[in-house]
Structure 1
Amino acid sequence: MADSYNRHSQSKSTRYQHNEKDIMKSKSRRSKYSEQKYHHVEAKTPPLPTRSTSTLEELLQKRESLKKELKNIVKHSDTGSTKESKKRRHSKEDYAYEIISNKKTYKENEAKSNTYSKRKSFHESSPELDHTQADSEDEESIIELRRHLRKQLIEKFKGSHDTSSGSNESNNKDTSSPVEKSVKQVKSDDTHQNHNKQITDMFSEKDEFDSKSTTNNVTQNNNEANLTDNWDDADGYYKICIGDVINNRYTIKSILGQGVFANVVRAQDSIDGNDYVAIKIVRNNELMYKTSLKEIAILKEIREADPNNKYHCVQFYDHFMHKGHLCLLLESLHMDLRAVIKKYGKNHGINIKALMSYSRQLLLALRLLKKLGIIHADIKPDNILVNERKNVLKLCDFGSAAKSDDNEPTPYLVSRFYRAPEIILGVPYKHGVDIWSAACTIFEMATAKIMFTGSSNNKMLKCFMDLKGKFSSKLVKRGKFKDQHFNYNNNFLLHKKDEFTGREKVVEMSNININRDLLYELKKSYKNTFANEERKLAQLKDLLDKMTMLDSSQRISVSDCLKHPFILEELQKNASTK
């Protein structure tokens, strides 16, 4: 047993020895392999740089040498040309030149520069960081010093500008550096051009610009060449300023109004006895320009037909171009008829005597237009003017006027409240549309109320039928737009909103009853009238009935209107009293 145990132990020990040998061999192999692998990788990558062994004395010497080089650069730049200095303005050497040239600023910032130079010496002692950290930190320090120096130069400039204005230049000696001189020279030139400009630093982190100093308004100067667009607004209207001179002759005194086609101003003529004129400045638009040329042709025709200015159409003098706008020179009157009604006939209308005079003058103007074959097509109180004494009335604004043989059916001709039924239905129209509009205007003068107040063409037709009754089938069939308002049975189709849903619905109306009394409405405006005035109101009611016939072929003519008792009796009465 003991022998077998000894043999077993020996064999075990020999096994351990063999294992240890194998382990040592494998370790040696691994170490060799790892050494080979290490040497292989090390051969591919460059060795780490060795740290510099520069001493403090060497660094100080380098610093002194850099200072000497900077001084030499300063001397060289002083003798150099101004163009070369401008080219080197943003370089590091030029910045150093600026620091050294300004001795006071350099002394104040010497502590800062020492810290920066220490940083720089540290970077110089580390060659491996030469092109990374040194450059970035040095640039940051340069930017910081530049900002500080720039602010000081601006403050000095402000102080020198304030003190130099009150003292004699010969007694003040400029001891500033060349950089300060150049900066002061440039900025002093700017101050001569504009003394009110605020001095700001565009590189400053703070917003030093004054927002109040800038404005969007374009200043107009007649002595300078300006773009024509600056004289117009977004819609092409001329921007009117009181006091502006138009055509080197007419000074704008007030604004009379603005329409679809143009602005109208009142101006004073500096050549022709300082008389007042009205100038219609047409919008800067090709369509408006062409339309205004037609208006000029019509105004010239009226002027030739009425050289003595008897037939109550506004006088046309001349036309010219001003900053891209066609301008019409017209007779200046005091106020329009709508303003007269509001001022002298509020809630009750103007007096009967003035009403008869104004109606007669308006009809005389219409008679002249019919003689010339012209349809005004926009008669309303806004387009009728009166003089300062309020005894003369004149028809104006011929922008919508056209020849009677040169018209096409359009549903939106004439302002809606004064629009004749044939226009809404699309029936061919002639001078009768002006008679209808004149009747609406006369009624408004008498009552200070609008005769027909429909909010659309469809509701305007309903207003007509409330006063005059149903349209005849013959008239409706002639209409180009009849299907919008009548069905095949000639029943009226009223467009209205539903009370509950708010949606638009169509209501068919076969019977329409008259619910207005024109005489009652006229008498309501003239209370406590005398017998002769009541007779005149009855005559006016008869005249308005004939002027507002639904069928234009049955409507009274302008010549018959002038022969009507409402107009004619007044003339006979005046003749008998003389």
Structure 2
Amino acid sequence: MDVSTKPLSYELLTEVGRGTYGTVYKAREVDGKERLLAVKKINIHAHTAGEGIPAFMIREVALLRKMNYFDHPNIVKLLEASAVTDGRNLNLTLILEYIDQDLSTYLDKVPASGLSRDCIKDMTQQLLQGLDYLHSNMVLHRDLKPDNILVNSRGEVKIADFGLARIYTFNIALTPCVVTLWYRAPEVLLNSVYMSSVDMWSAGCIFAELFLLRPLFKGFTEVQQLQKIFEVIGLPDKEDWPADSPISYSVNWGPKISSIKLLNNLGPEENNLLSQCLAFRPSSRISAAKALAHPFFKEH
């Protein structure tokens, strides 16, 4: 499947989100299908338009086109992309499949009794299937969080927002400021090199949040975020500390505790999967493919 060559005709219905670079609208396709669409309009003003389309926007369009070619059910679909000039301004429009809520909104509506184990299992499995697909195609999402995971009315989970995603190649120069703070892996917080395992850390944080109905690590600075992580998983051994990190190892970072059981309200299988997602050493962290084979999913 490729992005359609025939322009889509649509009418804008309502604004659903506004960010630094543009606005997202709910729209309805006209001339036939009447399906709902998400229209992302990005305006690049004259003072920056001369520099061309920003790199992150090019990456997002290119990666969504690449993902669409294989048409994976757990990746949001890009239906059309266009760029037009308006005077000295540049207007970029992305038309994507419409999904009415993200995971953050979904969790806000969950009753205090929480989600069922089967529901958590199903949503986590879909998230991991999407991640396994991305990583198999050498794509790092780098900003996995509930706001960037969409959930439709049928309970289908789709990974969205590829503005920070990158194609991974050997020795790639990767920027340290990626992933929203609460879902950021220790190696990123420590300004160390990182790979696709950063997405698995974020997935582990989201997995825990499905049980807790709140973020697992809610720090407000990078130092505080590291401290909150070590309060749960325990301070690693000095030899596990990344050698390329400019931040020094210290016994004052957190307690030396066992991380066999991270959360008291989780059963042994859930805790085992969570502890493998939240392993401090990236090389020890479970991959999406291996996580999908975990006993937690066997009966699903």
TM-score, normalization by structure 2: 0.86
State how far apart, in whole Å, the 1-side matches of 2:258 and 2:237 are.
Answer: 18
Structure 2 residues not aligned, in runs of 5+: 1-6
What residue is the counterpart of 1:569 in the other structure? 299
Q: Which residue type is aligned with residue 213 of structure 2?
A: A
Q: Which residue type is aligned with residue 458 of structure 1?
A: V
Change (3 A) 1:425 1:250: same
Q: Is the 8 A contact 1:349 1:448 kept in 2?
A: yes
Question: CA-to-partner distance for each residue in 1:329-350, whole Å, 9 max, x for gaps?
Answer: 11111211111111024x4432
The structure with more strand, counted as a fraction of residues:
2
Kindly indicate whether residue 96 of structure 2 is the aligned counterpart of residue 330 of structure 1: yes
Give the superposed CA RMSD. 2.3
Q: Which residue type is aligned with residue 223 of structure 2?
A: N
Q: Is the 8 A contact 1:282 1:292 kept in 2?
A: no
- Residue 519 of structure 1 aligns to a residue whose secondary structure is coil
What residue is the counterpart of 2:110 in the other structure? 344
How far is 1:469 from its partner? 1.7
What residue is the counterpart of 2:35 in the other structure? 275
What residue is the counterpart of 1:397 in the other structure? 161
* Equivalent runs, 1:406-555 vs 2, <5 Å: 407-482=172-247, 486=248, 490-491=249-250, 509=252, 512-514=255-257, 518-520=262-264, 522-523=265-266, 537-555=267-285
How far is 1:480 from its partner? 3.3
Kindly indicate whether residue 106 of structure 2 is the aligned counterpart of residue 362 of structure 1: no
Q: Is the 8 A contact 2:10 2:30 kept in 1?
A: yes
How far is 1:408 from its partner? 3.1
How far is 1:368 from its partner? 0.5
How far is 1:447 from its partner? 1.2
What residue is the counterpart of 1:252 in the other structure? 12
Which one has the largest radius of gyration?
1
How far is 1:543 from its partner? 0.3
Q: Which residue type is aligned with residue 564 of structure 1?
A: H
Q: Is the 8 A contact 2:205 2:216 kept in 1?
A: yes
Change (3 A) 1:278 1:452: same
How far is 1:474 from its partner? 3.2
State how far apart, in whole Å, the 1-side matches of 2:202 and 2:20 are.
Answer: 19
Structure 1 residues not aligned, in runs of 5+: 1-246, 493-508, 524-536, 571-578
Sequence identity (%): 27
State how far apart, in whole Å, the 2-side matches of 1:510 and 1:423 are.
Answer: 16
Question: CA-to-partner distance for each residue in 1:17-39, whole Å, 9 max, x for gaps?
Answer: xxxxxxxxxxxxxxxxxxxxxxx
Question: CA-to-partner distance for each residue in 1:368-412, whole Å, 9 max, x for gaps?
Answer: 1011100001111111111123x2111111111001127435442
Change (3 A) 1:477 1:273: closer
Q: Which residue type is aligned with residue 518 of structure 1?
A: L
- Residue 54 of structure 2 aligns to a residue whose secondary structure is helix
State how far apart, in whole Å, the 2-side matches of 1:333 and 1:539 are.
Answer: 31
How far is 1:261 from its partner? 4.0
* Equivalent runs, 1:208-287 vs 2, <5 Å: 249-284=9-44, 286=48
Q: Is the 8 A contact 1:363 1:562 kept in 2?
A: yes
State how far apart, in whole Å, the 2-side matches of 1:565 and 1:538 are.
Answer: 10
State how far apart, in whole Å, the 2-side matches of 1:557 and 1:268 are.
Answer: 38
State how far apart, in whole Å, the 1-side matches of 2:243 and 2:104 are.
Answer: 35
Question: CA-to-partner distance for each residue in 1:445-482, whole Å, 9 max, x for gaps?
Answer: 11101110111111111112111222333343423332
- Residue 83 of structure 2 aligns to a residue whose secondary structure is strand
State how far apart, in whole Å, the 2-side matches of 1:451 and 1:425 are.
Answer: 19
Change (3 A) 1:541 1:267: same
State how far apart, in whole Å, the 2-side matches of 1:404 and 1:260 are.
Answer: 26
Question: CA-to-partner distance for each residue in 1:133-171, whole Å, 9 max, x for gaps?
Answer: xxxxxxxxxxxxxxxxxxxxxxxxxxxxxxxxxxxxxxx
- Residue 335 of structure 1 aligns to a residue whose secondary structure is coil
State how far apart, in whole Å, the 2-side matches of 1:553 and 1:284 are.
Answer: 40
State how far apart, in whole Å, the 1-side matches of 2:201 and 2:141 are.
Answer: 12
How far is 1:256 from its partner? 2.1
Structure of higher RCO (CA pairs closer than 8 Å, 6+ residues apart): 2
Change (3 A) 1:282 1:472: farther
Q: Is the 8 A contact 2:231 2:254 kept in 1?
A: no
